[in-house]
């Protein structure tokens, strides 16, 4: 078999496929309460609990996660709380 006989796979969308409109989700970065930096170390001691309600943003949620982290700029320790709607 020669290289001319081997066809390359086509890339991209097939002909006639339409561009989909995807939903946009607002994501808020966690900030250090001391210096307002968004640069942080990795999360540790992640605790997730099943709990339902309405988040401060107005979105419904059914899980709450608490994640310990530290500011990379000033070293301030904090716990980031995220509200998740898991189906």
Give 43-81 as a DSSP string.
-EEEEEEEEEEE-TTS-EEEEEEEEEEEBTTT--EEEEE
Evaluate whether residue 6 is within a structural domain: no
Evaluate whether residue 61 is within a structural domain: yes
What pLDDT band is residue 24 in, cutting at 50, 70 and 90?
low
**CB under 8 Å, gap of 24 or more: what pairs does 82-86 form?**
83/55, 83/56, 83/57, 83/59, 84/48, 85/59, 85/60, 85/61, 86/62
Quick one: pLDDT at residue 4? 57
Evaluate whether residue 32 is within a structural domain: no
Query: pTM for this structure?
Result: 0.65
Evaluate whether residue 31 is within a structural domain: no
Evaluate whether residue 51 is within a structural domain: yes
Number of domains, the chain: 1
**Quick check: 26 pLDDT over 90?**
no
Query: What range defines the domain where residue 72 resides?
Result: 44-84
Q: Tell me the per-residue pLDDT of 28-87, one tens digit each, with 9 for 90 and over.
A: 788 999 999 999 999 999 999 999 999 888 889 999 999 999 999 999 999 999 999 988
9-29 mean pLDDT: 73
Q: Please tell me the distance from the alpha carbon of residue 78 to that of residue 73, in angstroms, as a whole number.
A: 13
Evaluate whether residue 50 is within a structural domain: yes
Evaluate whether residue 24 is within a structural domain: no
């Amino acid at each position: 078999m020669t290289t001319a006989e081997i066809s390359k796979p086509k890339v991209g969308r097939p002909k006639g496929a339409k561009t989909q409109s995807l939903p946009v989700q607002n994501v808020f970065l966690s900030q250090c309460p001391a210096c307002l930096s968004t640069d942080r170390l990795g999360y540790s001691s992640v605790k997730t609990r099943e709990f339902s309600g309405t988040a401060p943003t107005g979105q419904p949620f059914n899980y709450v996660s608490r994640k310990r982290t530290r500011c990379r700029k000033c070293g301030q320790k904090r716990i980031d709380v995220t509200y998740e709607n898991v189906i």
